[in-house]
Chain A
Amino acid sequence: MSEQQLFKVTIDNITIEVPAGTTILNAARKIGGDVAPPAMCYYSKLEGSGGKCRTCLVEVSKGSEKDPRPMPKLVASCRTTVMDGMEVKNITSEKVIDARAGVVEFLLLNHPLDCPICDQAGECHLQDLSYEHGKEGTRYEFQRRTFKKHDLGPYIQLHMTRCILCYRCVFTADQLTKKREHGVLDRGDHAEIATFIEKSLDNDFIGNVIDVCPVGALTDKTFRFKNRVWFLKPVDAHRDCPTCSGKVTLWNRGDEVFRVTARKDEWGEVENTEDGKPGWICNTCRFEKKKTSDWVIEGPRMINRHSVISQGHYAGKIGMHKPTETFEAVNDGRKPQLLMDIHSVSEVNKPEVQLSLIDGPAHSQVFNQNKD
């Protein structure tokens, strides 16, 4: 058994050979593109994750070469391993599309949809999921479930109302840290992520729960409300860190480092470092090294060109297609400016700053300069 056994699996009529023991989801990710089912709770770097959100359901139309019977139910592709000769239908199955739309509706049922004020907007998996697979409206007519905000220590804010109970942060805390200090309380639709009686999470690596959170339930307190992710330029950087690999992505605006995250791959998961282990980063790197001088810049981070984060940064489908008509033409010759004059009534902004006159999107420095 020197060579690993390879299984042939056909997903949406595309055949690929993968090692035995691979899950359908990972096989589909090898093919890539639309064939890969969305996954909200599965995280390949976390043992035991997956199977909960049900967004990755697929139809197995042929079990295997030996036993060609189709599977009776849709299966969670993240937790089902491939068999030789298996045939899987993802986007080619109406059943899957229908079930997935249902799951998206269920996930959004109690979600506050406060994307305009949510720090995760722009890199939120739930946002992507609902744009791709959801419906425009909701049929839910009742009050949504809400929770009080919790402080999990000095760096992390827990906003349970946005949580979709993917359990990723629970697995992260269990597997990265020595002490089990956070889990799920209660059950059903009032289940919540919580720590042991309002204790804070303090551990060198606990900041990684922010990176694994697919929604805006766990956010970085050093970055909250500071900026929008699509205004920031991600660059790869490293430093000599005694605790972790020190390989991070800096999210810059000019020279200012707004936040530090681990490097994420195209599936939104933390990338492996050279030694093949996930590149989790420590709290010091994440929260305390917010100066460019702390880091050695490696170069721009490649971000999927379809992501809103890439808007205007990269040439491609979105970047190159500038609208043909100008704003002025649409606006009957008026120069672009904020349609609602919020800056004239707001205490925060200086009314004397003409937002339409400054170069590019507004930045805190613009306002700070006018202070003195």
Chain B
Amino acid sequence: MSKKLLLEKAHVEGIRYFDVYRREGGYRSVEKALKEMSPEAIVEEVKKSGLRGRGGAGFPAGMKWSFIAKPEGVPRHLVCNADESEPGTFKDRYLMEFIPHLLIEGLIVSSFALGSNDTYIYIRGEYAWIVNILEQAINEAKNNGFLGKNILGTGFDCNIHVQRGAGAYICGEETALIESLEGKRGNPRIKPPFPAVKGVWDRPTVVNNVETLAAVVPIINMGGDEYAKIGVGRSTGTKLISACGNINKPGVYEIDMTISVEEFIYSDEYCGGIANGKKLKACIPGGSSVPILPANLLLKTAKGETRYMNYESLADGGFATGSMMGSGGFIVLDEDQCVVRHTLSLARFYRHESCGQCSPCREGTGWMEKILKNIEYGKGKMSDIDLLWDIQRKIEGNTICPLGDAAAWPVAAAIRHFRDEFEWHVLNPEESQKRNYGLAHYADPIHVPVG
């Protein structure tokens, strides 16, 4: 049983309520941080912990905090990004639903560290019932003196506001989230200026993921150095992985980033193997935006080493033979799944969610979807595959926000690793409507060049 920091108490009866949460040792970090530590010391502690942003990009959280501008007389804000809409990712929902006070506790400590007196939780509109849970938790914390004016008699004021989004994936991008929070159309802003300088209402703002902010609690409780000892290398602490797809036990798992991908999929403690005794074909290890990997490259890197569930190991080999940790949405595909169809549904998602602000993403995502639709339904041409490759190449890196990249990467990786499945669809238009390509050679051991 690996160490759990976030979800250790998540299933204690009544942990959703303040009394039980407090009895189980909750809000200790608030007392410690506000009474014994300075804001700078908290930032330093988070830096020491090596905590990396859990929203997808994996940017060190302590670094991000230290970038925040501190002009005289201008209020600063902390915004919690709970707009979790990446297909395959549902870890934040789980955390907020079962142990909401952990997030509130992390928010209070982080607000103190950043000097934010008005902190916002921007939550996706579809999580309607969680808004109630969070608001109840906020009210309980306020009634017990952990929020509001003069918290614990330290003179620090903090209020947390919950703001619902209207169900747009793009509002999970931090600048689009800020625009939406301000009441505008959720179009990403052009950076620079970064939110750390000009964010909500042009005030310095830090936007962090739910899990990142929750992880601040154990960091303060145990100390940054102690936290950094968990995990491996630059992947410190624990990570929530939301596993789904063709596995026996889908769900949210907290891992300490030292286990191998193979163990995560096949051990009974986690996913419990592929459902119905099928074989593993492919997997998206970090939410829909990150490159898909075939079974052989997922379990072992191109150099033949075991692949582990951490930032570095999953990214080993770059995009040519690796993927990304992303937001931890672990989607497993078994041998009965069609990669072309799978890529089509992702392309459809990104076309639908593109904000339409910059041209490569607005036009390119729709084009890719139409071509993929043709290929999937037996009307594709061989040249379409090269065309898809060219389109994704021209979207990637040329857009305002990372949605363009997120739309391009899954298509690129699917063609890179599963090109023969696309070609089979083109060459056998009728057969491809009746059966799937199957496992083919995707689980065969890869040839490792000597040296």
**Cross-interface CB contact of A51 among B358, B360, B366, cutoff 8 Å:** B358
B170 interfacial by beta-carbon distance below 8 Å: yes
- A-B interface contact total, Cβ < 8 Å: 87
User: How far apart are the CA atoms of A103 and B400 in the complex, in Å?
Assistant: 13
A76 cross-chain contacts in B, Cβ below 8 A: 190, 400
B331 interfacial by beta-carbon distance below 8 Å: no
B398 cross-chain contacts in A, Cβ below 8 A: 54, 57, 73-74, 99, 102-103
User: How far apart are the CA atoms of A295 and B370 in the complex, in Å?
Assistant: 54
Q: Who on chain A is nearest to B394 by CB?
A: A102
B91 interfacial by beta-carbon distance below 8 Å: no
Q: Shortest Cβ distance from B176 into chain A, in angstroms? A: 11
What is the size category of the interface that chain B forms with chain A?
Answer: 20 to 34
A188 interfacial by beta-carbon distance below 8 Å: yes
B320 interfacial by beta-carbon distance below 8 Å: no
Query: Which of A104-112, A147-155, A314-322, A323-331 lies on the face that meets chain B?
Result: A104-112
User: How far apart are the CA atoms of A245 and B221 in the complex, in Å?
Assistant: 67
B356-378 interface bits toward A, Cβ cutoff 8 Å, 1 = contact, 0 = none:
11111011111100100000000
B37 interfacial by beta-carbon distance below 8 Å: no
Would B352 and A188 count as touching, CB distance under 8 A? yes
User: How far apart are the CA atoms of A188 and B358 in the complex, in Å?
Assistant: 9
Residues of chain B touching chain A, judged by Cβ–Cβ distance below 8 Å, are: 168, 170, 185, 190, 351-360, 362-367, 370, 387, 393-394, 397-400
Classify the secondary structure of B's interface with A.
helix
**Cross-interface CB contact of A187 among B356, B360, B397, cutoff 8 Å:** B356
User: How far apart are the CA atoms of A109 and B360 in the complex, in Å?
Assistant: 10
Would A187 and B354 count as touching, CB distance under 8 A? yes
Number of interface residues of A (CB under 8 A): 33
Q: Who on chain B is nearest to A102 by CB?
A: B394
Would A189 and B357 count as touching, CB distance under 8 A? no
Since A51-B190, A53-B359 are in contact, a sample of 8 more A-B pairs with Cβ atoms closer than 8 Å, ordered by chain A residue number, is A99-B394, A102-B360, A103-B359, A106-B394, A164-B359, A188-B356, A191-B355, A191-B362
Q: Shortest Cβ distance from A185 into chain B, in angstroms? A: 9
Do A189 and B351 form a contact, CB below 8 Å, given A52-B400, A103-B398, A142-B370? yes
B364 cross-chain contacts in A, Cβ below 8 A: 106
Would A109 and B168 count as touching, CB distance under 8 A? no
Would B363 and A189 count as touching, CB distance under 8 A? yes
List of 5 A-B pairs having minimum Cβ-Cβ separation, nearest first: A102-B394, A191-B356, A51-B190, A106-B363, A188-B354
Q: In chain A between 61 and 97, which residues have their CB closer than 8 angstroms to a CB of chain B?
A: 73-74, 76, 79
A359 interfacial by beta-carbon distance below 8 Å: no
Q: In chain A between 174 and 219, which residues have their CB closer than 8 angstroms to a CB of chain B?
A: 183-184, 186-191
User: How far apart are the CA atoms of A189 and B357 in the complex, in Å?
Assistant: 9
Would A103 and B360 count as touching, CB distance under 8 A? yes
A57 cross-chain contacts in B, Cβ below 8 A: 398
